[in-house]
């Protein structure tokens, strides 16, 4: 449990920094690079969530988390395909990897198991979807993405992201074995 708490503090701090850094960067770039920055951030975030959900399908002890993880993989793979096609048509470059902080989170998640993994997965998915919603709302706004088709597409993604956030918030990670055993005695 201690390992989980330390993990949560570091992850939430890292994601919070990444979200505010992305917003600050978008505020200071020129119109010519806003579309590219948006694509970079969205591709990285989608790859991260797909990788994290794939870990959950293998490592989670909760059937609800596994089902949600499958939903994330399916939905975010579709989003990636749509964005990759749009980016290629607009001659935008697709990034090769996820952000370093996201890779660090995936590595840390790989060290967790059982209830600790499930709780961390829920927390990371909630924070990641909050960041994604902020990114898509910013991108789809009047001073966001320059390309009107890409801006419209970004706005169309927000309801699904909000739905994923609500599901993530409602996830019930499995209780630690000691707590589950104590409850079974009652």
- Residue in the structure block whose two tokens are 């998640």: 109
Q: Which fold has domain 2-27+34-174?
A: Ferritin (1.20.1260)
Q: What is the pLDDT of residue 97?
A: 86
Q: Break the chain into its structural domains and give their ranges.
A: 2-27+34-174
- Write the pLDDT tens digit of every residue in 2-15: 555 455 555 555 55
Sequence-ordered list of residues with C-beta below 8 angstroms from that of 146, at least 6 positions apart, any chain: 31, 32, 34, 35
- Write the pLDDT tens digit of every residue in 45-83: 999 999 999 999 999 989 999 999 999 999 999 999 999
Residue 126 has pLDDT above 90, yes or no: yes
Average pLDDT of the chain, as a whole number = 84
Phi, psi of 27 (to 5 degrees): -65, -25
Q: What is the pLDDT of residue 5?
A: 46
Q: What is the pLDDT of residue 10?
A: 56
């Amino acid at each position: 449990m201690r390992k989980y708490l330390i993990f949560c503090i570091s992850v939430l701090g890292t994601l919070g920094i990444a979200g505010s850094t992305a917003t600050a960067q978008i505020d200071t770039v020129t119109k010519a690079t806003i579309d590219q920055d948006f694509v970079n951030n969205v591709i990285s975030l989608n790859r991260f969530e797909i990788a994290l959900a794939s870990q959950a399908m293998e490592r989670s002890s909760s059937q609800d988390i596994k089902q949600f993880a499958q939903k994330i993989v399916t939905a975010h793979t579709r989003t990636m395909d749509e964005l990759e096609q749009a980016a290629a048509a607009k001659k935008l470059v697709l990034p090769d990897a996820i952000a370093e902080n996201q890779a660090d989170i995936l590595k840390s998640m790989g060290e967790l198991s059982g209830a600790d993994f499930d709780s961390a997965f829920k927390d990371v998915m909630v924070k990641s979807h909050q960041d994604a919603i902020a990114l898509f709302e910013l991108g789809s706004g009047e001073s966001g993405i320059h390309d009107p088709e890409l801006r419209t597409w970004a706005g169309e993604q927000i309801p699904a992201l909000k739905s994923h956030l609500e599901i993530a918030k409602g996830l019930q990670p499995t209780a630690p074995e000691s707590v589950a055993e104590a409850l079974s005695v009652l």
